[in-house]
Structure 1
Amino acid sequence: MKKIVTILALCLSALTAQAAVQGREVSYQENGVTLKGYVAYDDAVKGRRPAVLVVHEWWGHNDYVRHRADMLAKMGYTALAVDMYGDGKLANHPDDAGKFATALNSNMPLAKARFDAGIKLLGTQKTVDAAQMAAIGYCFGGGVVLNMARLGEHLKGVASFHGGLNTEIAVAPGTIRARILSFTGEDDVMITADKVAAFKAEMDAAKANYRVVTYPGVKHSFTNPDADELGKKFNLPLAYNAEADKDSWQQTTVFLREIFGR
């Protein structure tokens, strides 16, 4: 009897270990450049499901963006943490991060091509319903997903966390297909109140379906627990805010359910 119980326990343990979030590194190509991403999904969820692209901060594709992909996988989605810089390039100093981000932001065809490469890869995953895609982004990545919406990408929705709001893209009414959700802090000196107001005016003129959430007393990079350390290290106006982080994620959870209808 003891032997049978032991065997059953081992079987149950094996099943439990198998039914969990699976994450793996992936490499994909865009115009001869190798992009190094990360795919996450829950193998306990059966069949194809909605998918979400996650775009990194200006530091590059790191553990933080992979963590967000894992969180989405636990919610029942397949997530791809993309690599917008290529070769998994990471910045260890704000000067380098600024150069990487500026180079891509000033070349929108390149940014779109690399974003589209992520969409293509994600759409080929056996766990993905390619007709049900969204994107979220942080800081630099938040600006990227907003720009992709401006360019008319076929996404159900995009969510930007402390992402840049200004753009040089001229948006004609009806161009934006995706629903938009933007989170910013009122004490964010990088995304000031006038920029938020200009963004709202832009979205109104474009007749976009959007919502802007601002948090009083909250600074830039409020979703990243490493923000305080990075702010002190490089003398940057960054600060983590647990309450805003939690609330913005909860609102995004509802947002994804609404746009996917599940």
Structure 2
Amino acid sequence: MIRTTQLIYSDKQQSYEGVIAFDDTIKGKRPVVLVSHTWVGQSDFEEDKAKELAKLGYLAFAIDVFGQGRRAKNAEEAEALMNEMLEDRQELLNRILLAVYTIKENEMADTKKMGAIGFCFGGKCVLDLARSGIDMKGVVCFHGIFDPPGIEYEEDIKAKILVLHGWEDPLAFPKDIVSLGYELTERNAIWEMDVFGNTGHAFTNPNANDPDGGMQFNPLANDRSWERMTHFFEEVFN
């Protein structure tokens, strides 16, 4: 049976509220996959993804980088919350790393097999996590945003990277896809990208319905990207 439980964790500044999902029929430790949220904040969307990951046998953790109770009710609030984080990418990374260290303490966590996925703003988050040089098996970026954090790193990227993206995404154009490829190659990352034609931003979100703005659910891209993710983690956790 898939079970979920809230997890409140803290740093010196504030508390954060995430959700853990796991299959209670599995005994012992299992690989860990963090789920990084969109610009709205940790929500049912990420919790549902965590449940799906739990069905695959993982300990899934829908993380929170905005802070407990800080969730957007509309696009204006979401932009404000996201921009607050984008003003200090080191602080954003610190909050992601806090979630990593927190879930490592869970008795079900196989700390040698850890990965992360993220959607939209969350895709940026998991790319920043990989860029930090963290010793993690792999990260998957769903219709993310690619701009580098402006933090100088010298070491190679250790985590394998899978980018799943729409060719018509207005938040990361084809030129940005190419730039990311050069960036990851310069850091000696093992990376790959699946780019879906006739596909815009937010293609995994059934509630996305703004074709004029380049944001619309795409069932085919949604299904294919999730399938590609499952094979990716099967490989990197093997």
- TM-score norm. by structure 1 comes to 0.87
Q: 2:193 aligns with which of 195, 212, 224?
A: 212
Task: Give the Cα separation in 2 of the matches to 1:258 and 1:110.
Answer: 31
The 1:50/1:258 distance shift into structure 2, 3 A limit, reads same
**SS, match of residue 167 in structure 1:** coil
1:125 offset after TM fit, Å?
A: 1.3
Deviations along 1:166-197, one digit per CA (max 9) or x if unpaired, are: 11435656431100000110111111111111
Question: Secondary structure at 2:216's aligned position in 1?
Answer: coil
1:38 equivalenced with 2:27 (yes/no): no
Q: CA deviation at 1:201?
A: 1.1
Q: Give the match for residue 67 of structure 1.
A: 48
Q: Superposition pairs for residues 233-248 of structure 1, below 5 Å?
A: 236-248=213-225
Does the 8 Å contact 2:97/2:129 carry over to 1? no
Alpha-carbon contact 1:151-1:171 (below 8 Å) kept: no
Determine the structure 1 residue equivalent to 2:62.
Answer: 81
The correspondence for 2:108, drawn from 110, 124, 127, is: 127
**Is the Cα–Cα contact under 8 Å of residues 150 and 171 in structure 1 kept in the other structure?**
no
Alignment of 1:186-205 (within 5 A): 186-205=167-186
* Partner Cα distance (1:53, 1:143) in 2: 14
**Deviates most, 83-92 or 179-188:** 83-92
Query: Does structure 2 conserve the Cα–Cα contact (< 8 Å) formed by 1:174 and 1:207?
Result: no
Equivalent pair of 1:174/1:208 in contact (CA under 8 Å): no
Q: Which runs of 5+ in 2 are unaligned?
A: none
**Aligned-partner Cα distance in 2 for 1:170–1:246:** 34
Structure 2 counterpart of 1:34, one-letter code = S
Tell me what 2:147 maps to.
166
Structure 2 CA distance for aligned equivalents of residues 97 and 236 of structure 1? 17
Does 1:102 find its partner at 2:83? Answer: yes
CA shift in 2, pair 1:221/1:91, >3 Å: same
Pick aligned residue for 1:180 from 157, 161, 171:
161
Task: Encode CA deviations 1:197-238: one digit per residue, 9 max, x unaligned.
Answer: 11111111111100011100001000111112xx38xx7431
* Displacement after TM superposition at 1:106 (Å): 2.2
| 1:258 aligned residue | 235
- Equivalent residues of 2:137, 2:159 under 8 A apart: yes
SS at 1:53's partner residue? strand
More helix by share: 1
Which of 181, 199, 208 does residue 227 from structure 1 map onto?
208
For these two proteins, the number of residue pairs brought into alignment is: 238
Counterpart Cα distance in 1 of 2:25 and 2:188: 40
TM-score of the two chains, using structure 2 as the length reference: 0.96
Secondary structure at 2:65 match in 1:
coil
In structure 2, the residue corresponding to 1:250 is in which secondary structure? helix
Instruction: Give the Cα–Cα distance (whole angstroms) in 1 for the partners of residues 215 and 5 of structure 2.
Output: 30
Aligned 8 A contact 1:30 1:113 in 2? no
- Of structures 1 and 2, the larger Rg is shown by 1
Query: Between the two proteins, what is the percent identity of the paired residues?
Result: 30
What value does the CA root-mean-square deviation take over the aligned residues? 1.5
Kept after mapping to 1: 8 A contact 2:32/2:114: yes
Gaps of 5+ in 1: 1-19
